[in-house]
Chain A
Amino acid sequence: MRKTIFLILFSLLCSSQSFLYSAFEAQEIRVTLSTESPLTPVYLTLASENPGFSQSYIDSLKAVLNFDFSYNGETQLLSIDSEKEKLLQRCDQQTAFTPAYWKAGGIQYVIKAMVQEKKLSAMIYCLQEDKIKRFQEIPLSGSLDKDRKQIHKLADGIHKAIFQKEGIASYQILYSQQKPRKDKEWGSEIWECDWDGANKRQVTKENSYSINPIILSSTSDQFLYVSYKLGQPKIFLSSLQKGEGKRVIHLRGNQLLPAISPQKNQIAFICDAANGRADLFVQAFDPSKGAVGKPIQLFSYPESVQASPTFSPDGKKIAFVSDKDGSPRIYLIPSTTTGKRSIPTLLSKTNRENSCPSWSPDGKKIAYSAKTNGVRQIWIYDFEKGQESQLTTGPGNKENPEWAPNSLHLVFNSVDDEGSNLYIMNLHQAKPIKITDGEGKSHYPSWGRKSNQF
């Protein structure tokens, strides 16, 4: 009897151990999966030797470089360590870049930037290949606004050397900033800033209400926007240098929410010219000539409102908002018509109140805003998986997401008790980074020109 009890207890113990082991194993797998990071561990330092600038200036430059590598969606900056800093101070390259030492810390790349005699230089040490790449010296001006651009340029150069693709630190962001006017109404102008929110610059000075800026391309300084300077909202084309727009589309009524095709040969917009209804229109366009031919009424539906068009990368499809079936949702249609309304495909099915879609340049995703448990959050529709997933969480109504040229980063605006501010985030790092924090309401952001181009 005792033997039987012992055997039962023994087998129970074994099975529980095996269960515990399985559970532990499963837990281990979960941990392994959850710690898989798309980010590459990098150690970054910016040293100075006879820099020709104050230490506080060097610290400002360091902060800019740190921002670029902290939020580029590809690198994970490791904490500054005094021992590593001391090692990197050494001029003896072989000692500074001892592979065994750096590999032990799980580091893949060491980036050493140096300010010396008002010049910025940099080198990357790749541990895997045990190779060093040096970057040409860049002269610094001592003006932080100007030197920021040099830092961003260097960051993008390093990014390309490591990942063989363009970084986005040199891209500008266009947005609208609303402020109260003396006449008790609200004014709004188009502004431009660096991707980290620095170097803010007012572009339009029309003393009117201007919103929804869209750059024609990252190598162009021309942009479309909506202005109320004639009373009704109309679509204008302007340049970042002149800041005063010319009307693009000569059509009666309200013209709103322009989008430009990646080929720059079509403008989609919303207009009530036909019958007072907010319809989707398309206008053939040539950046050097303006509108070409007549606008085309692309989609209209009885008693419904259309809004927020965005083009597919090949310009052949348009995603837009319609409330034709009740709550506003995202639909897809071809960007051409034979004179009959195309049957739109419903894209966003998970939530109600979907708005402001933005098609990623790689064509694989659409970002949009959707009311989620009472708060507007950014969602992504993934064409490859055919699934919608929530990107942002937390308080603040988030709207107007716009993809960066790398199809990894988004800029959007969020409204909370402090007002409306711009944020950037990327698909690899969950935390949105606030980039504006000033007076006025900042909203309707879009990625602008690449500053290196000018």
Chain B
Amino acid sequence: MKKYTSLVNTLCLCASLLFITSCEKNKSGTWDDNNSTASKSDANSWINESDLQSADGKDSFAFADEEFMPLRDDDLKTLSFNEGFPQPKFGPGEAGSGIPGLQHFREPAGILSEIFRNVYFNTDEHVIRGKENLTLIYKMSAYLKEHPNTYIEVQGHCDERGLEEYNQALGIRRAQHVRTLLIQHGVDLNQIHTTSFGKEQPVALGHTPQDWAQNRRAHFKIYEKN
């Protein structure tokens, strides 16, 4: 019975992941399409900030006035599935975060190297596609929920063909998309930090489509708090 329940839960989570990403796919085939007026005015893609509170209330979205002077435009008060959640209030290594800096995060080893594997993106896209990538996201979210003292860094990387400076900013979107999916599936947002590397850290040094595909990735590093 327990096995049956677990199977149903797994199927439900996979189905919901597929639903979210297929929604994105329908309205955002390419990067440019994502930014078209049509996609931005799609009311179904917007959710309220109040729906996005973390489970234990450790962080909230009413932080902005404390740290910076925010814009007050109405269209910035809601978040879409395509966009991320605010970064944790305290960065790794900062007083209050309870964890060391990201330089102390390590490559996943042992069983974690099977769960926290790279996920890959299509050209000019920041949304995850494909069963394999989505299964990985599911496994990661399950692990992180079971291990609330495990923290991850999600690195967003691009391939060599993009603009250097613009890709630094674009890498944010890839990392944030992975983070959004994990939070949507119950992971505490304070467990996930993101870093944009643009195209500064390629793993494949060739200039073929295969090399580019390997470099368009989200890469993960882990810190396990005792």
Q: Which residues of A contact B (CB under 8 A)?
A: 178, 185-186, 188, 209, 211-212, 228-233, 251-254, 256-257, 270, 272-278, 281, 294-308, 321, 323-328, 337, 339-341, 353, 355-356, 369, 376, 399-400, 443-444
Interface of chain B residues 133 through 179 with chain A (CB within 8 A): 153, 163-166, 168-170, 172-173, 176, 179
Which chain A residues border B12 with CB–CB below 8 Å? Answer: none
Which chain B residues border A297 with CB–CB below 8 Å? Answer: 64, 68-71
Whether B32 contacts A254 by the Cβ 8 Å rule is: no
Which chain A residues border B195 with CB–CB below 8 Å? Answer: 228, 231-233, 254
A-B contact count (CB 8 A): 194
Whether A276 contacts B85 by the Cβ 8 Å rule is: yes
Whether A295 contacts B172 by the Cβ 8 Å rule is: no
B85, B86, B164: which contacts A356 (Cβ < 8 A)? B164
Nearest first, the 6 closest Cβ-Cβ pairs linking A and B are A231-B102, A276-B84, A253-B87, A278-B169, A355-B163, A276-B176
Interface string of B65-84 (1 = CB under 8 A from A): 00111111101100110111
- The smallest beta-carbon distance between A296 and chain B, in angstroms, is 4
**CB-CB nearest in chain B for A443:** B164
Selected interface stretch from B1-9, B35-43, B111-119 = B35-43
Residues of chain B at interface, number, CB under 8 A: 56
Question: In the complex, what distance in Å separates the CA atom of A165 from the CA atom of B84?
Answer: 51
Whether B90 contacts A252 by the Cβ 8 Å rule is: yes
Whether B91 contacts A230 by the Cβ 8 Å rule is: yes
Whether B32 contacts A326 by the Cβ 8 Å rule is: yes
A295, A340, A353: which contacts B163 (Cβ < 8 A)? A353
Whether A341 contacts B79 by the Cβ 8 Å rule is: no
Interface string of B103-134 (1 = CB under 8 A from A): 10100000000000000000000000000000
- The smallest beta-carbon distance between A391 and chain B, in angstroms, is 17
Which chain A residues border B35 with CB–CB below 8 Å? Answer: 303-304, 323-326
Indicate whether B21 reaches chain A with its CB closer than 8 angstroms.
no
- The smallest beta-carbon distance between A16 and chain B, in angstroms, is 55
- Does more than half of chain B's interface fall in helix, strand or loop, or is it mixed? mixed
B69, B105, B173, B196: which contacts A295 (Cβ < 8 A)? B69
Whether A302 contacts B80 by the Cβ 8 Å rule is: yes
- The smallest beta-carbon distance between A416 and chain B, in angstroms, is 11
Whether B173 contacts A278 by the Cβ 8 Å rule is: yes
Question: In the complex, what distance in Å separates the CA atom of A284 from the CA atom of B104?
Answer: 32
Indicate whether B180 reaches chain A with its CB closer than 8 angstroms.
yes
Indicate whether B101 reaches chain A with its CB closer than 8 angstroms.
yes
Q: Knowing A257-B165, A304-B35 are in contact, say whether A276-B83 is a contact too (CB < 8 A).
A: yes
B64, B82, B87, B93: which contacts A303 (Cβ < 8 A)? B82
Q: Knowing A274-B86, A276-B176, A321-B165 are in contact, say whether A305-B170 is a contact too (CB < 8 A).
A: yes
Whether A302 contacts B169 by the Cβ 8 Å rule is: no
Whether B85 contacts A257 by the Cβ 8 Å rule is: no
Whether A321 contacts B166 by the Cβ 8 Å rule is: yes
**CB-CB nearest in chain A for B195:** A232
Whether A275 contacts B103 by the Cβ 8 Å rule is: no
**CB-CB nearest in chain B for A328:** B166
Which chain A residues border B34 with CB–CB below 8 Å? Answer: 303
Question: In the complex, what distance in Å separates the CA atom of A266 from the CA atom of B85?
Answer: 27
Question: In the complex, what distance in Å separates the CA atom of A301 from the CA atom of B92?
Answer: 27
Whether A273 contacts B153 by the Cβ 8 Å rule is: no
Indicate whether B193 reaches chain A with its CB closer than 8 angstroms.
yes
Q: Which residues of B contact A (CB under 8 A)?
A: 31-32, 34-36, 39-40, 64, 67-73, 75-76, 79-80, 82-93, 101-103, 105, 153, 163-166, 168-170, 172-173, 176, 179-180, 193-197, 200-202
**CB-CB nearest in chain B for A254:** B196
A185, A254, A321, A340: which contacts B201 (Cβ < 8 A)? A185
B32, B68, B201: which contacts A296 (Cβ < 8 A)? B68
**CB-CB nearest in chain A for B205:** A180
B68, B102, B179: which contacts A276 (Cβ < 8 A)? B179
Whether A444 contacts B75 by the Cβ 8 Å rule is: no
Which chain A residues border B168 with CB–CB below 8 Å? Answer: 233, 256-257, 270, 307
Which chain B residues border A281 with CB–CB below 8 Å? Answer: 68
- The smallest beta-carbon distance between A210 and chain B, in angstroms, is 11
Which chain A residues border B40 with CB–CB below 8 Å? Answer: 302-303
Whether A275 contacts B173 by the Cβ 8 Å rule is: no
Whether B79 contacts A307 by the Cβ 8 Å rule is: no
Question: In the complex, what distance in Å separates the CA atom of A257 from the CA atom of B169?
Answer: 9
Which chain B residues border A308 with CB–CB below 8 Å? Answer: 165-166
Question: In the complex, what distance in Å separates the CA atom of A296 from the CA atom of B72?
Answer: 12
Which chain B residues border A299 with CB–CB below 8 Å? Answer: 71
Whether B71 contacts A273 by the Cβ 8 Å rule is: no
Whether B89 contacts A356 by the Cβ 8 Å rule is: no
Q: Knowing A230-B101, A277-B83, A353-B163 are in contact, say whether A252-B88 is a contact too (CB < 8 A).
A: yes
Which chain A residues border B169 with CB–CB below 8 Å? Answer: 256-257, 270, 278, 305-307
Which chain A residues border B102 with CB–CB below 8 Å? Answer: 230-232
Q: Knowing A277-B84, A302-B83 are in contact, say whether A400-B164 is a contact too (CB < 8 A).
A: yes
Q: Knowing A232-B102, A273-B86, A297-B68 are in contact, say whether A356-B193 is a contact too (CB < 8 A).
A: no
Which chain A residues border B170 with CB–CB below 8 Å? Answer: 278, 305, 307
Whether B163 contacts A252 by the Cβ 8 Å rule is: no
**CB-CB nearest in chain B for A417:** B207
Whether A337 contacts B71 by the Cβ 8 Å rule is: yes
Question: In the complex, what distance in Å separates the CA atom of A241 from the CA atom of B90?
Answer: 32
Whether A275 contacts B196 by the Cβ 8 Å rule is: no
